[in-house]
A = this chain, B = another copy of it.
Amino acid sequence: MISLANMKNLKPGDFPPEIKGLRMTRQRREVLAVILRDRDHPTANDVFLRAQKRMPTISLATIYNCLEALVTHNIVRQVNLERESSRYCPNLSDHCHFQDEKSGKIHDVVFKKGVKLEDILELPKGTEVSHLEISLKGIFGK
């Protein structure tokens, strides 16, 4: 599992073993470190501003490139809420997203144990789900 701890002393070439076919660059390492550090579902621009602190020459285009690479390699998940800009999330376990209308904060929400999609939805025989996104908005309790 990739964690902030593993990231700290990562050098080029040190990509965690589960990541195949993805070159390690300083920029990708930094983008991933930013996303693992504060797990607050930052936008590409948020990531850009944070990455710039430690790497002042990084460009926004690179942020987008890195994020795309991390997303297509299933290291990071892209989260789309309504028409807002995409956000990025290092939590790879099954979960959905709840945006609190008061604070704007996004919370990860997990499924109850044993819940299966086919128990919930009327899907025709032979349907294959490759992608599922559930997003909620409202007042988040607690």
Interface residues in chain A, defined as those with a beta carbon under 8 Å from any beta carbon in chain B:
80, 82-83, 86, 96, 98, 101, 109-112, 115, 119-142
Known: A83-B86, A120-B111, A122-B111. A130 touches B141 (CB 8 A): no
Give Cα distance in the complex from A115 to B38, angstroms: 35
| The one of B80, B135, B141 that contacts A127, using a Cβ cutoff of 8 Å | B141
Q: Measured between alpha carbons, how far is A142 from B121 in the docked complex, in Å?
A: 15
Nearest-Cβ distance from residue A28 to partner chain B, whole angstroms: 21
B130 adjacent to A137 (CB under 8 Å): yes
Chain B residues with CB below 8 A from A135, complex form: 132-133
**Complex contact B141–A124 (CB within 8 A):** yes
